[in-house]
Structures are given as C-alpha cells and as structure tokens.
Amino acid sequence: MEWQHLKTFFVVGETQSMSLAARELKTTQATVSRHIQSLEQELKHTLVKRDLTGSHLTPIGLKIHEQVRKMHYAAYNIDQELRNHKHTRHHIIVSCGEMTSVLLSKNLAQLKQGIEDVEIIITSTNTFLDLAAGEADVVIRNRMHDLEGFVYHPLEQAHLERYSIYGNAATFKKRGRLKSKQLSTYDWVVFSKTKVQLQTEWLKKYIPNSAIKFKVHHAALVMDILSTTPNTLAILPRFVGESMEGAIEVYTPKEDLSFRRYIVRRNEANPYAEKITKNILKIFMNAK
C-alpha cells in the first residue's frame, strides 16, 4: 500500500473535493482520481462516492480515513521532531564578514573544540543576518545595538582590531618598512566594494587611483594577489594580516584606524552557541 495513495485519500476526505485536494497536493485532478482508484482496487472497497456536491466518504471509507488520519499526524510529528532535532543539535550558523571568516576557517579545530558532533556553518557575508528570526545562531558585528534578548561579547584584542598596511612578503622582507611618501609608488590591491568607511577614506586620502592596479570582490582574492604578486600593498585588519604567511606589515598609519567588534547571540539556553562563542573568543585571544 503506497503512502502517496493514502495521503491523497486523506486530503480528499478532509476537503471532500477532488479539485481542492489536487490544489492542496499541487498535482492534477486526474492524478488524485487515479490514486483513489488504485487504493480502492487494492482494498477491494469503494472508499469515495462522487456526485454533483463533491466527493464523500463511504462508511468503510470513513473508518479507514480515521486510521489514515492517525498515521498522517504521527508522520507529521516524527517529521517535526527530526527537524527540531536537526536544528537544535546538529548545526550552528555563524555569520561574519569575509575577513573574519578567513581567520575562523584557519582555526576550525579550535572552533569545533568540545562540539565535534555539531556541524558548523560559517556564513561569510557583510549583510547582517537576523538572529531573532533564526537566520543565524551567532554573529560577529562591528556595532553593538542595545536590544533586549541578546548577549554581546566584545572582542578586546586592541592590537589586532585596527587597520594597517601589508605588503608582499617576498618583496618587503628585503626592503623593510616604508615611509608614507613611498606608499603610492607601489601597486595596490583593494576591494571593488566595501562598507568599511575607515578603509575607504584612508585610501582616498593617500593612494591615487593610478596606484590601484587590482580591484576585487572577495577577501580571498585580495590575500591571494598580495601574497603571490611582487611589489603589491593592501590595507588589511591586523587580525588578518598577521595571520597571513605571504604578507608582512610595512607601514602603520598615524591615523586612528581602530575598530570594535562584538560576538552576538540570542539570550537563551543553547549550549552549542555558548560553546562556540567561547571558542571564537579563544581564537582571537590566541591570534598574534
């Protein structure tokens, strides 16, 4: 006995209409009729009578429909339980910007410490996902909004939470640090679009367009070009630049290019979100 035939029979009994059942099941009326006929042939009983007022269950149809109703709700409850189990136990969504995702991806073992059986999904986006709507479980943000129902953990690594200038390591290990007047004489790789005002304003003030040779969309491309292309420079957060093998700090801006970030989660009992928050804090504490 096919479950799809039973499901079709259940919906026909609920709606008392072949056409309404077809609409609810997102199929054709002919398919609904065929499923009912197949079920009736298998059970050797007429379950549904059709007339001008609709489709009505026969006495034996009513008895079977009651049993199918119990099966339907049991299947629904099992499905919901599995969905809830998967949501609460098997994955945690961490939302952060591209640069932060680079650091987290380099420290996956530490990120999963103590929650190895949980799938961790890192969503790399500069668009804030909605914690309240369940789009993420933990987010890393540049601003703290004073809203009830959320817990904020400041990332207090002052030496890492600011921008600095990094160069291709193969080039600048030999040449050493640069002076401000030398910056515009090298090739620059920058983001084609960025929402970071500090970074944008500094570039506009000190680096002419003629020195910008590479404009890219993703952080990974910035780092790849910087680490593999001689004579290139980029402005990066120190927590990224200091963790790159192919880059070296060549200039520290005199301006205050510091920023603050916060790990935010819902204020609810979720041991997995609490644990991964602690792991993220440790990753930043252990960063150079």
Predicted confidence (pLDDT) per residue in 67-110, tens digit: 887 776 666 555 555 555 554 456 888 988 877 887 888 888 99
Q: What is the reported pLDDT for 81?
A: 58
**260 or 281: which carries more pLDDT confidence?**
281
Shared domain check, 168 and 247 = yes
Shared domain check, 268 and 150 = yes
Shared domain check, 206 and 74 = no
**69 or 232: which carries more pLDDT confidence?**
232
pTM listed for this prediction: 0.57
Would you put residue 54 in left (φ > 0), alpha (ψ -120 to 50) or beta? left
Shared domain check, 35 and 46 = yes
Predicted confidence (pLDDT) per residue in 192-209, tens digit: 766 567 788 889 999 999
Shared domain check, 228 and 192 = yes
Q: Label residue 235 by pLDDT band (50, 70, 90).
A: very high
Q: Which of 109-123, 143-157, 162-176, 189-203 has the lowest mean pLDDT?
A: 143-157
- At 159, list the tokens: 């030496």
Shared domain check, 15 and 82 = yes
Q: What is the reported pLDDT for 158?
A: 58
Shared domain check, 218 and 177 = yes
Shared domain check, 179 and 122 = no
Last residue of a domain, one of 65, 87, 109: 87
The parent domain of residue 143 ranges over 89-156+260-286
The CATH number that applies at residue 62 is 1.10.10.10
Shared domain check, 172 and 96 = no
Domain count, the chain: 3
Q: What is the reported pLDDT for 265?
A: 86
The CATH number that applies at residue 228 is 3.40.190.10
% of residues, the chain, pLDDT over 90: 26
Predicted confidence (pLDDT) per residue in 258-270, tens digit: 777 888 888 877 7
Shared domain check, 14 and 58 = yes
Shared domain check, 54 and 189 = no
Q: With 80 as the cut, is the pLDDT of residue 131 above it?
A: no
Mean per-residue pLDDT, 112-141: 79
Last residue of a domain, one of 87, 102, 128: 87
Shared domain check, 265 and 128 = yes
Last residue of a domain, one of 47, 65, 87: 87
